[in-house]
Chains A and B, each alone.
Chain A
């Protein structure tokens, strides 16, 4: 017996100019449509993408093997440029991850209805981005086989401990916490959906597997009562967490004395940048995904537009960050700071990256002032891509460019990445895509339960309106 609740077409809702859920949906229809992509055998598109992703993953394996075998010297790093691609990509990925948490957690706290259809998606992205990010701090060290555990505070027979004044140790705690919490948060949200997968699966094998992951969830009211709290609290914790993580990442630089690193504006400006690039990444993936997975009716233009608004906002914050950096560099009166921003970056050998960054992060997002752009799939997709590029350039500027010319001109050196650098970078994109495609294949890409709940609420509202209408 399907639920007989009235159709939840919410088009007549004045507050929702574009519907959050399109068409007349029932719990069941939602259920089938949203889980459909799990049951359906993957199509050509998925396989091609998956093939590409695996190829990328291959690159990663090659890159890492070479690095471990021959040493970090296979990368382009040198003295003075001790950090380059490794840390650039680390920061880039972490940044991307942040949007996920932000969407799922912060928007939840702010009770943004439009979040529901995309949060699962975003959280997954967070998780995978963090996995990619986690790779780098480890493999970029000279002796990973020690770095893997010497940064952990454990009682070794050497009787020596980590050095807790070092931002790198903070990183270890921040990033690992971030990963753990995001994982738990994501999984907690998944449990009810896993249950419905279990219950709607046809093949016994699937039943067993999903059943195991569903932990025997039976939608008990007593459970829901605690569950809602737990979920809310995790969200509550993730919100400051996500802010702290990128703040701490920014400490890696802000705590040092290097011109271009030693900057107090870094924490907020890194967080803004993170959200900026993160949302861009979500859009980059969401636009094609809703197409191929048939999620158009739950991930509507409204969602995309909202995200574009966030991109615009954070983009402006980032621009402000740049402005401040340059202002302080001049205002501080430090010749090293000044040279860093107005000579090295603007006119040095790495200047093209700087100007590309400026274009992508400062100029491009402004297109979202126009509703046409915000709601045009192609434009928003290209913009999002450019923003991703721009944010990568930003990290390159901060890290490599600052390093390659610092205090003493006698040790100024050029930096050029090697094929290993590139293959590892592309490799992580491959890893990310692989995980993502697997996720799309085996787990509901949209939080079914929450969408149903939303439908219910909307239906209620609609109902109410209807009654008023009849007087």
Chain B
């Protein structure tokens, strides 16, 4: 026994976390990035790890030993990727690396009572900015739909470990969405395309450039008549510049922007309204009445993060609150935040828009709308009372109201909405229009049609694809895989060996954004420079490098190309007068180039007449007829499939329906009844549907979605992948198989029938109702303002002092008393916090089977409750993590002191002391503790380990874990300020969830500081404690959600 006293090495939880790192600071060329040969080893290790793992006694041997195994070392040397240093694969532990001077330790061999001799490996040349153990932060940018969101990336010894938003960035304001948080997984992904190939033969970059040179020479002959480029929609100045230069060189060549989730309705609609293409920009801060027509502006899109912050700003009682009306078929993040929600099929939204226009048209001063509405030829939908109420509310807030139409909606709707916004004098205040920043205003599925036709008619010899995976995302009727086969040369920039890579002739491993140089624009035009945090793990190349290959500059490298182009553009940037090198350093450092934003168009005249005549045509072409409607949505987690290989996102419960590792056919309860959908296993298991539409059919498991429009099915894109992505493949079904280019977003006439068999979902929450327990309090403003209302009394009751047996511990003498507040009024349930927490705290993913068993590990659970009738429920979301109770029920039942209280009142969880009785979890009334039922960590590929947070222990099998209020951040900050000899100031210490939260719904800080934000927010009149009656005295408090109901529509 005695030998165990000192925790024999093989039993350290962390052993599973070990990843190999050796710094030898060979700074590569002109850049600041540090290429760590160790990284290559990690990669090498990963290759072999799978093999080596088998022979390991996984349940107690460590990955470090795994990587130390000679077999592996051999493998490593063999598998060495190009450009790796000659450093012999020495195996090093992540943490000890830190411990010793940017060196590392190799746990040699087996558990002896005598500790093994370990190595310490220092740098040869340590880059001056690197202080081993202290993180560095670099600015960069990334975006899904052509715009870039400013990011700040935390890096430990050259390895990006955490992503935050850039506070100076227009679209981020310091927060991030789900995808940005998950970028790390995309970077350290062992499935990434690693080898440049031509027809499956490995190829060097140099010879690729050679062949491209030959190719472009041939194309130059006929001005590139048969040269085509298929790119992502982009606003990147550099990309646009390259485009311009390529078109100068190949005048007849064509560029097509394409993203399967881009909607063309807005562009066309606004063109109709204003006679030219413009981009709408929304300012929610100024909007006191917002009407969303099938627009999920809080849940998705480049503006969503900022939109949430601005929307949340208007949800504070005691100040004028904004009011949100949402018209949509299926519940969305926006829909959940609505004060009033009207469920309509996507196809009926047009009818609603016209009905609203008509209604407004009847009111004095809105005659111009009457005309437009008239063109609607009586197409109408929606409850007149509702519409009437909305109309009057809009008029009441003329000039500070806002209508937003969704990406899915056709031009007609956007045109009408533009007209209404104009009529309401919203243009210039809540909505502005600017000349498009995107290269092509039209980039939706329809944009692919002309290209397809050209290919079909053999007019394309070379197709360069930098767009994401068109073979998978393209509308099925185009049969894009067959088409590509017809093109003699296809060059594909592949993040993964996906469906498109399978048919492309040249497959070029794409550099990850964190490995790339480039630039991007925010939605207001502000430019951010994209800088790499790490040398490409596997030789990866950026779009810039591929495009410049056609300008004969492929060997220049993205860095050089970018720098040159900005050196040239320096003069265009106001205020950037200094020496270019300084300016450049500043731009790169800040992450934004101030002064590059573009002004909205002044003096735009709405052309009502044009709309009137355009409308008729548009509506006649709009989908009609009966039958069931199928509508497609970009998935909240994998978007169009590009994030499908991120286990974090796959396992993230869908913000609305709490699905993990799946997509579903969402249908209304009524429709489920008529179809005879069966539900088993306590709401986990649903019947499978056969959906037939035109000549296409898919099997899709049904999921009953309260608040869904009847006779309509909503299908999320991005699943049912067949590429060589180990995480993504086999998850869900491919809704795209129903999607045609004629109606890419929704259409009627689908046939739905029950298939045999049931489908088991990995739902993290299968109870919809609060069972009259009201853990999440929602009330109306009217109710709230009446001090004697039921809701108000409930809140009072839940914040009252409770009788105590013995005096509560006195924390007032401590320097800090940590506490948190979560504002349910602001929280939209977008779930960015969950991923942020997962990234910060090295939380493992467990896979669908384990989620079904109820063993998901995310520390934050965003609970979603329905109330009212199922057909049209009110929704409330409630993020729930450890409440850090002062009289924590979990603590007194732990037999080994593994969870106890800190002097500052944190509920501490000591992993290395935990023996895993799970008693604490049983006794936790909030059920926020998570248990490592199996070994969820040691199988993590070594390359993935590079991205783990060195400040947080990786938990081993059989250990309990839970939210710690990011204690690692507290302790590091404490040390820093104490060395500096001061106190932690309010706001300089943020938890991961707080920092990531777009809405700013989470406050964290020192309750002993009367001026701190958290103290103030806990004094808010909406504040209450969860399960307060149990006397747990939680440190986390909630602010009740107050709905700003329209009196005309308020029920009862």
Using a CB–CB cutoff of 8 Å, the interface residues on chain A facing chain B are 68-74, 76-83, 140-147, 149-151, 156-158, 160-163, 165-169, 172, 252, 255-258, 335-336, 339, 349, 403, 406-414
A407 touches B925 (CB 8 A): yes
Hey, which chain B residues are within 8 Å of A70, CB to CB?
Answer: 59, 934-935
Residues of B within 8 A of A158 (CB): 5
B845 contacts which chain A residues (CB < 8 A)?
Answer: none
Q: Are B1027 and A407 in contact (CB-based, < 8 A)?
A: yes
Query: Given A68-B59, A80-B921, A349-B682, are A145 and B896 also a contact pair (CB < 8 Å)?
Result: no
A69 touches B59 (CB 8 A): yes
Contact with A along B545-562 (1 / 0, CB 8 A): 000000000000000000
Interface: B919 (CB within 8 A): yes
A349 / chain B contacts, CB cutoff of 8 Å: 682
Q: What is the CA–CA distance of A437 and B923 in the complex, to the nearest angstrom? A: 40
Whether A414 lies near B895 (C-beta < 8 A) is no
Q: Which residues of the other chain, A, contact B893 by a CB distance below 8 angstroms?
A: 166-168, 255-256
Q: Whose C-beta in chain A lies nearest to the C-beta of B681? A: A414
Residue B485 CB within 8 A of the other chain: no
Bound complex: CA A145 to CA B771 (Å): 42
Residues on the A chain within 8 Å of B915, using CB: 141-144, 146-147, 150-151
Q: Which residues on the B side are within 8 Å of A339 (C-beta)?
A: 771
Tell me which residues across on chain B come within 8 A of A161, comparing CB atoms: 897
Contacts of A409 in B (CB 8 A): 767, 769-771, 773, 775, 865
Contact of A414 among B684, B772, B922, B926 (CB under 8 A): B684
B841-879, CB under 8 A of A: which get 1 and which 0? Answer: 000000000100111000001011100000000000010
Residue of A nearest to B957 (CB): A71
With contacts A143-B914, A409-B771 known, is A258 near B922, CB below 8 A? yes
Q: Are A145 and B4 in contact (CB under 8 A)?
A: yes
| Cβ-defined contact, A163 with B914, below 8 A | no
Asked if B521 is an interface residue, CB under 8 A from chain A, the answer is: no
Contact flags (1/0) for B769-789 with A, using CB distance below 8 Å? 111110100000000000000
Q: Which residue of B lies closest to A414 (CB)?
A: B682
Cβ contacts A to B, 6 pairs, < 8 Å: A71-B59, A71-B957, A142-B931, A162-B895, A163-B892, A412-B682
CA distance A150 to B5 in the complex (A): 9
Q: Is the CB of B769 within 8 A of A162?
A: no
Cα distance A255–B915 when bound, in Å? 20
Give chain A nearest CB distance to B425 CB in angstroms: 44
Which of A82, A147, A150, A166 sits near B931, CB closer than 8 Å? A82
Q: A156-B5, A409-B769 are in contact. Are A163 and B59 (CB under 8 A)?
A: no
CA distance A158 to B5 in the complex (A): 7
B913 an interface residue at 8 Å Cβ cutoff?
Answer: yes
- Which A residues are in CB contact (< 8 Å) with B959? 142-143
- Quick one: which of B861, B921, B923, B958 contacts A143, CB cutoff 8 A? B958
- Given the interface pairs A162-B897, A166-B895, A256-B889, the reply to whether A78 lies near B855 with Cβ below 8 Å is yes
Contact among B11, B880, B917, B918 with A410 in the assembled complex (CB-CB below 8 Å): B880
Cβ of B1017 within 8 Å of any chain A Cβ, yes or no, is no
Shortest B925–chain A CB gap in Å is 5
Q: Establish whether residues B934 and A256, one from each chain, have CB atoms under 8 Å apart when the complex forms.
A: no
Q: Which chain B residue shows the least CB distance to A160?
A: B897
Query: A278 vs B923: C-alpha distance in the bound complex, in angstroms?
Result: 29
Q: Mark B1-45, 1 if CB is under 8 A from A, else 0.
A: 100111000010000000000000000000000000000000000
Number of A-B contacts (CB under 8 A): 185
The answer to whether B933 and A73 touch across the interface, beta carbons within 8 angstroms, is yes
Residues of A within 8 A of B11 (CB): 143, 145-146
For A172, what are the chain B residues with a Cβ–Cβ distance below 8 Å? 895
User: Per DSSP, are chain B's interface residues mostly helix, strand or loop, or mixed?
Assistant: loop
Q: Is the CB of B913 within 8 A of A410?
A: no
List the 5 shortest-distance A-B pairs measured between CB atoms, nearest first: A142-B916, A142-B958, A73-B933, A82-B918, A78-B854
| Interface contact A143-B855, CB-CB below 8 Å | no
Among B4, B880, B893, the most chain A Cβ lie within 10 Å of the Cβ of: B893
Q: Which of B682, B917, B956 contacts A141 (CB 8 A)?
A: B917
Does B304 sit within 8 A of A, measured CB to CB?
A: no
**Contact string against A for B residues 887-921, beta-carbon threshold 8 Å, 1 for contact and 0 otherwise:** 00100111111001000000000000111111101
A157 & B6 in contact (Cβ 8 Å cutoff): yes
Say whether B112 faces chain A, with CB atoms less than 8 Å apart: no
Residues of B within 8 A of A143 (CB): 11, 914-916, 956-959
List chain B residues, Cβ under 8 A from A78. 853-855, 933
Q: Give, as a whole number of angstroms, the nearest-CB distance from A414 to chain B.
A: 5
Residues of A within 8 A of B889 (CB): 256-257
Contact of B767 among A140, A160, A252, A412 (CB under 8 A): A412
Q: Are A163 and B894 in contact (CB under 8 A)?
A: yes
Q: Are B925 and A408 in contact (CB under 8 A)?
A: yes
| A164→B775 CA distance, assembly (Å) | 33
Other than the given A145-B11, A150-B915, A408-B926, 7 more pairs (CB < 8 A) read: A71-B934, A78-B854, A142-B932, A145-B4, A407-B775, A408-B927, A414-B684
A143-B914, A163-B895 known; A411+B927 contact, CB < 8 A: yes
A412 nearest CB neighbor, chain B only: B767
In the complex, residue of chain A having the shortest beta-carbon distance to the beta carbon of B767? A409
Chain A residues, Cβ within 8 Å of B914: 142-143
Instruction: Collect the chain A residues with CB atoms within 8 Å of residue B894's CB.
Output: 163, 166
Identify which of B766, B861, B927, B959 gathers the most chain A CB atoms within 10 Å of its CB: B927
In the complex, which of the residues A80, A143, A151 has the most CB atoms of chain B within 10 Å of its own CB atom? A143
B1030 within 8 Å of A by Cβ?
A: yes
**A145: chain B residues within 8 A (beta carbon):** 4, 11
Say whether B960 faces chain A, with CB atoms less than 8 Å apart.
Answer: yes
- Which residue from chain B places its CB closest to the CB of A399 in the assembled complex? B922
* Bound CA–CA A172/B919 (angstroms): 15
Chain A residue with Cβ nearest B932: A142
Instruction: Establish whether residues A77 and B772, one from each chain, have CB atoms under 8 Å apart when the complex forms.
Output: no
Q: How many Å lie between the Cα of A273 and that of B958 in the bound state? A: 32
Minimum Cβ distance to chain A for residue B452 (Å): 47
Interface positions, chain B 335-378, Cβ under 8 Å from A, are none
Q: How far is the CB of B771 from chain A (nearest CB, A)?
A: 5
Question: Please, which residues of chain B bring their CB within 8 A of the CB of A144?
Answer: 915
Contact at B897–A77, with CB atoms within 8 Å?
no
A68 to B923, CA, bound (A): 25
Instruction: Return the chain A residue nearest B1031 by Cβ.
Output: A257
CA distance A38 to B934 in the complex (A): 47
Whether the Cβ atoms of B1 and A149 lie closer than 8 Å is yes
Pick the contact of A77 from B878, B933, B935, B956 — CB < 8 Å? B933
Roughly how many angstroms separate A409 CA and B765 CA in the complex, as a whole number?
Answer: 8
Q: Give Cα distance in the complex from A268 to B772, angstroms.
A: 34
B854 touches A81 (CB 8 A): yes
For residue B708, CB closer than 8 A to chain A, the reply is no
Chain B, range 53-102, C-beta contacts under 8 Å to A = 59
Which A residues are CB-close (under 8 A) to B853? 76, 78
Nearest B residue to A149 via CB reads: B1
Cα of A140 to Cα of B878 in the assembled complex, Å: 33
Distance A96 CA – B44 CA, assembled complex (angstroms): 57
Judge whether B765 and A79 touch: CB under 8 Å: no
A76 to B915, CA, bound (A): 19
* A168→B922 CA distance, assembly (Å): 13
Give the residue name and chain of the A residue nearest to B916 (CB).
A142
Q: In the bound complex, do residue B855 and residue A73 qualify as a contact, i.e. CB atoms below 8 Å apart?
A: yes
B1013 / chain A contacts, CB cutoff of 8 Å: none
Q: Are A163 and B927 in contact (CB under 8 A)?
A: no
Chain B nearest CB: distance from A340 CB in Å? 12
Give min CB distance, B99 to chain A, whole Å.
Answer: 19
Taken together as a complex, chains A and B put the C-alpha atoms of A161 and B6 apart, in Å, by: 14
B934 and A168 contact, CB distance less than 8 A: no
* B899: nearest chain-A partner, CB-CB: A163
Most B-side CB within 10 Å, residue of A70, A349, A409? A409
State whether B918 touches A83 (Cβ < 8 A): yes
Q: Are B916 and A141 in contact (CB under 8 A)?
A: yes
A412 to B765, CA, bound (A): 8
From residue A420, how far is it (CB to closest CB) to chain B in Å? 12
Contact B913 A160 (CB under 8 A): yes
Q: Would you give the shortest CB distance from A161 to chain B, in whole angstroms?
A: 7
Instruction: Indicate if the CB atoms of B958 and A410 lie closer than 8 Å.
Output: no
